[in-house]
Structures are given as structure tokens and as C-alpha cells.
Amino acid sequence: MKSRYSHILMLLGALLAFIPIIAVDYLLDAYVRVTEKNKVQQSVVAVTSQVELGVDDAIASLRRILAESPSLCTPTFVANVQREIESSLNMKQVLVENVDGVQYCDAFGLTVTYSPLSGSLPIPGHTETITLVKLGDLAMPALKITQVFGQGRRVSAFVPLLGQMPTAQSTGLGPSGMMRVLLTNGAQVLTVGDSQSFDNRTTRTEFVYAQAFAGELPLRGEAAIPFAIARAGYSDLDVGFTLVAGLMSAGLLFMALQYVRRSRVPAFDLERAIAHGEIKPYYQPVINLRTGELVGCEVLCRWEKKNGKVIPPGAFIDYAEVTGLAIPMTLSLMQQVRADLGELCQLMPEIKVSINLFEGHFRDGSIVEDVQAIFGGSLIDFRQLVFEITERRPLENSVQVNSVIAGLHALGSRLAMDDAGTGHSNLAYLATLGVDVIKIDRIFVDMVKADTKQVPVLDGLITMSHDLGCEIVAEGVETEAQALYLRARGVLHAQGFIFAPALKVGAFKELAMALHATKNPRSGVDGIVDSAA
């Protein structure tokens, strides 16, 4: 046993040793995305900042012109306009016109030719408005910043969108990069590079993308480069990372081998415990909340070691599932249940015995044959068996799963969903699997206190169960207030410490006989009581 588990440890160590190599691509991809995103972000911020700077400069110039000019289109006004244009790096023209577009004067005594490309948009925090226009023969769109003067005059400054030609803006993004300026309503103003590939992308990870806003202006810029092309530029770093990861993996593998060689950790002896019958069934009573009758029990397991120590299931159930030992452990428990409760089930034909199944039972598929082999011809009828589906692992709604459930139903047994609401179940999942009983987990029952009037989550689960036509069993009932709350909402069956904990077979039989004798004072139960003693 020890040797076999040493081999398992060695295998796990070997697998873990190769994690650095496997992680190289993931880590390098993450590094490339962060690095390239910073570069793309810097590029698009530079563009939007340039736009913002040009507009702010034009607004300041326009305000100085109006402040220093008592009236429009006078020699003083024209001189002020020409002075501001000469001192500005961005402003190209200033125009005075009325609301109908009739031009009165400009900086150079010319007719200003322009055509609007957008409507007039407000600039938050400013009295000026902004309009995207085509100015003369300029290849690049321009921004028309307009200030109202008097009753019917409009004074506008014209600023090219960018101070450079469009081709110069794409140099920082490479030949496959894309950059564009848009109005905040999504209308494109200027596009540089191949934007079609970006717009037709199928996943968010295909491109490294960044965007920035031009301050308070109703403009934003965005830029992107294909991730595959960006990643190709890091081939040297990829080789270096791979070499380092290989050395780390070799070191981890060496340490794993050394640990296994020197380890003296004893093997986990659950398999031996199952073979020697140390995994014992304990029986927790299920009580009818209206009549107080015993209606069944749930079979729980305990590991009773030879030294008298009792280990709760939480310490070994997960291990049993992972290793596949849950299947032989369940078979052993069912065989003990058959021997323990046969006479009791014959005397009390309405009693139900709940046995937990695990996800592995549904993948294995032999559980139906096992149930037939163990309980067929025994004193326990198939219809007295309830098999609980635990939700520790997701139960796929596959053909195999449905076949197992159909087989158990064909025997006359029932299916219960254990710990409903805490695992992987949902309404469609429960309805599709054909569950007969829904067991409400104790975490929902614990929400009921002495003065509780309503627990929406618990009430919802109860309503859901009623709507699905399922019987309900509440787990973990520990107080009278909880029992009364559940009973008032139509929950008939419950289990918990208020009634009894999980009991050894002898104590459970005594309790069952006592309750049965109370209900049927003339029934003969001496033989069973003696066998339980």
C-alpha cells in the first residue's frame, strides 16, 4: 500500500514539475498584453491630447480676440485675429457669420469654404460649441469652435483635427495597427490603418485595444493592434522564458523525486478499512412533522477504527470520491443496511431508507445491478429505498446518467437531490433528472430563528419543490421554531438533532420500535427489539 501511494506521489510531483513549462505561454501572453496595451494607450492618449490642446488653444485665442475687440470686422478686430493666428500652432482661420451662414469677415479677407460633417455639439463647462467640418482643400477634417456674439453673430475659429498628417499618426502602431477618432455618439471622424479587421473580430482577445477621451470634448480616440503580430515580436523573450521554465521544472522534478524517495509518510488506509468493515452505517431518523411518526432514515457513514476512534465522513469522503473508493464503500454500506434493517423494513413497510450515491456511481453505471444483487430477494423492498444524489461534483445530464436514474426508477426506488440549492443544481437540472425528493440543506434551515417571520430563500426552495411535485425533507432541524416554521409551509418530513443524531443500528432500532409501538400498541415487536439489543 505504501509503495503504491509513493508512486502516486511521484506521479503528482512529476506533473507539478512541468507546470512552469506549461505556464510559459500563459505568462508571456499576459506580459505581452500588458506591455503592448501600455504602448497603444500612450499612442491614443497622444492623439487625443493633441486634439484637446488644439481646441483649448483655439478657445483661449477666440476669447482674447473678443475681449480685445469692441466690435466685429473692424481693423482692430482683424489685427487681433491675425495676431492670434500667427502665435497659434493650430488655428488656421477665424470667421464672423450670422445664424444663416452669411459671412461678414475673416482673418484674410477671403471667402471661407467649409462644409459641416456633424451637427453642432456643446462642450461641457464652456459657452462655445464645436462642429466637425471639411475646411477648404485640407485633407484632414477640422474643428469649428464657435462663440455667440451679440444677437445674431457667430465668431468661429477653425482648427485642423490633428497637427500632423494622418499617416504620421500610425507610426507608433506598426503597419497592422489601427487608430481612429470618433464622436462620442460613435460617428467616425478620422481613421488610420485597417479598422475593418478590428470591427470584424470574433473574440475580444484578437486585438490589443485602448481608448482615451479628449478631455471634456465630445471626442474619443481608440487604437488597436493584432495580438498575434504583437506576440511575434517577443520571440527572443519566449525562448528565454522557456529555458528558465525548463530549468525550474528540472529542479522541481528532482526535489519531487527526492521527497518520494525519502518520504516515510504512511499510506492512507481507507481501502483497508473498507475491506475490513470499519466503515459503519449510522442511521439518522426522518420524522413526520405533523404526526411525529418515523418515516425513514438517512444512512450516514462513520469510520470506526480498531483503536475505538470514530472519524466523521468529512475527513475521508472527498478522498473516497477522488480515488474511486466511494463505489466499494457504498456497496459495503448497502450490504450492512440489508443485514441491519431487513426485519425492521418488513415490519414497517412504509419506512424509507435513504442511501447516498456519488457522481462516480453514475459514470460507472453498475450501481443498478449492484442494488438488484444486494436487495433483490431481501427483506427490504426496492420501493423502500431512496438514493440521494450528492452535489459535491457536477452531475452531467448525459445518456449514462439518465440510464442509471431510469434503472433505479424501474426497480421502484426513488431519487432525492441532497443539499438542494448549495451545489450545482437548478430548476431545469432537477426537472430533467426526474428527482422525486428534494432535501433542503441545513444552511437554509438555520436561517429560521425564534422570531423569524419569513426566509425568502428557504420559502423559494419550498415553493420550487412544490411546483416540481417533489416531496421535501428538511435537514439540520435543531429547534422547535424551525420545525413549526417548516410545518406551516407544508414541509412534512425533517431530520436533525431536535429528533435524534445519526445513531448506531441498535439505538436506531430501539427508537423505531418505540415509535412503532406507540402507534400500534398491539403489534408484536419483541423479536426485533431483542435482535437490536
pLDDT tens, 115-164?
998 888 898 889 999 999 999 988 888 999 999 988 889 999 999 987 64
Which residues 6+ apart lie within 8 Å of 149 measured at CB?
A: 66, 72, 96, 155
Out of 160-169, 181-190, 288-297, 415-424, the most confident range is 288-297
Give me the pLDDT at residue 518, please.
Answer: 80
Residue 44 contacts residue 179 (beta carbons within 8 Å): yes
Per the listing, cell 466511494 goes with 326
The Cα–Cα gap between 373 and 335 comes to 10
Most confident of 17-26, 258-267, 366-375: 366-375
Q: What is the pLDDT of residues 385-417, one digit of tens each?
A: 999 987 656 666 578 888 899 999 999 999 998
What does residue 493 show for φ and ψ, rounded to 5 degrees?
Answer: -120, 140
Is pLDDT of 427 > 60? no
Residue-wise burial string across 196-223, b where 16 or more C-beta atoms lie within 10 A, e elsewhere: eebeeeeeeeebbbbbbbbbebbbbbbb
Q: Which of 305-319, 496-510, 514-528 has the lowest mean pLDDT?
A: 514-528
Please state, in angstroms and rounded to a whole number, the distance separating the CA atoms of residues 119 and 117: 7
Same CATH fold assignment for domains 29-159 and 270-517: no
Angle at 31 between CA 26 and CA 35, to 5 degrees: 150
> Of the given ranges (25-39, 50-64, 488-502), which has the lowest mean pLDDT?
25-39
Neighbouring CB atoms inside 10 A of 175's CB total 10
Where in the chain are the domains? 2-19+232-262, 29-159, 166-230, 270-517
The whole-angstrom separation of Cα 127 and Cα 114 is: 22
214 closest CA partner among 239, 247, 242, 190: 190
Answer left, alpha or beta for residue 278, where phi above 0 means left and psi between -120 and 50 means alpha: alpha
Q: Which residues pair with 96 in a beta bridge?
A: 105, 155
Q: Which CATH architecture has domain 270-517?
A: Alpha-Beta Barrel (3.20)
The class that CATH gives domain 29-159 is alpha beta
Span 52-101, pLDDT tens digits: 888 999 999 999 999 999 899 999 999 999 999 999 888 999 999 998 89
pTM of the full structure: 0.51
Task: Over range 175-193, report the average pLDDT.
Answer: 83
User: What would the grid cell of residue 187 be?
Assistant: 460617428
Name 439's Cβ contacts closer than 8 Å, sequence gap at least 6: 388, 416, 417, 418, 419, 420, 472, 473, 474, 475
Query: Contact at 8 Å (CB) between 120 and 131?
Result: yes
Tell me which residue of 465, 445, 464 sits closest to 455, measured CA to CA.
445
Residue 204, pLDDT score: 84
